[in-house]
Amino acid sequence: MRVPPSLSPFARTTVLPGFKEELFFYDAGANGAPGMLLLHGLGDEADTWRHIIPTLSEQYRVIAPDLPGFGRSALPSGRRLTFRYVGTVLFALLEHLGIRMVTLVGHSLGAAIGQVTALAHPHAFLRLVLADGGLLEGVRFEARFLLGLLPGLGESRQRKLSQNLDAAYASLKPYYADLDAFPREEREFLRERVGERVSSARQIRAYFSIFRNFAALLVFKGALISSRARQLPIPTLYIWGEQDRVVPVKVAQATCRKHPGAQLVVIPGAGHAPHQEAPREFLRAIDQLR
């Protein structure tokens, strides 16, 4: 995957102590600045933050990894991806970089991974910003997601998309309020990127491995973990796209009613990816959490 030109000065790779696989990440901003960790969602990579990393780096030391198996990061051999494993990698990355406390910004599945990681290492997180995801009240998966839990079926559907780039690109439409309204350069980038994802056996394995772990977590421990996450003594902000069709805003509202002290900012006209669709509004929302 090519690195967007605006992010190329920040691109890094490392093999963390105690791990064997190479991890790709962006490291932007000055040493000593307050830390910020950005976690992308399912079937995505750190480039999802391309519109906000340069601005955030003026105030923060911004760390944005490709999660293990996604984007340009290697998939650990001989093991399935779990929230616990990914959280261990993230904490090891922060320790490796000498960053002690961070504001965590997670999108979609990345928000849930961030909350689980914060439960394991609460002392490492100063604030939580959860964008269109997390451990939520009343979330319902669509049938197309649930079918992906069946061994082999989800993988087969992804491989079929690799043979039809138009269909792969069209699969992005539910995630945006109006994908067709994006500038041509942005649409071309997204088309190229989704084609690379569905053509990568490694990324397909990572996608379904972590997704199935998430589903099992929700079924067997979801209520308990959600309750514990809401009790974390960490200021928490939910940012939501008003027109999110993947996780409707009413889910965020229901969650916030049970989350004492949490804030909710709804971004008008945005879908499931407000950091891409309305980056200026997204940045203003982050500034509200002090």
pLDDT digits (tens, 9 = 90+) for 72-101: 999 998 778 999 999 999 999 999 999 999
- Residue 232: pLDDT over 70: yes
Neighbours of 120 (CB within 10 A): 13
Topology given in CATH for the domain delimited by 5-141+222-287: Rossmann fold (3.40.50)
Mean pLDDT of 131-142: 80
Where are the domains positioned within the chain? 5-141+222-287
**Per-position DSSP letters for 164-221, written without gaps between them:** -HHHHHHTTGGGSS-GGGS-HHHHHHHHHHHHHHHT-HHHHHHHHHHHHHHHHHHHHH
Q: How much is the pTM?
A: 0.95
Give me 208's structure tokens.
């379904």
Q: With beta carbons less than 8 A apart as the criterion, state whether 158 and 204 touch.
A: yes
Task: Say what the pLDDT of residue 148 is.
Answer: 66
pLDDT band at 223; cut points 50, 70, 90: confident
What is the band of 51 on the pLDDT scale with cuts at 50, 70, 90?
very high
What band does 147 get if pLDDT is binned at 50, 70 and 90? low
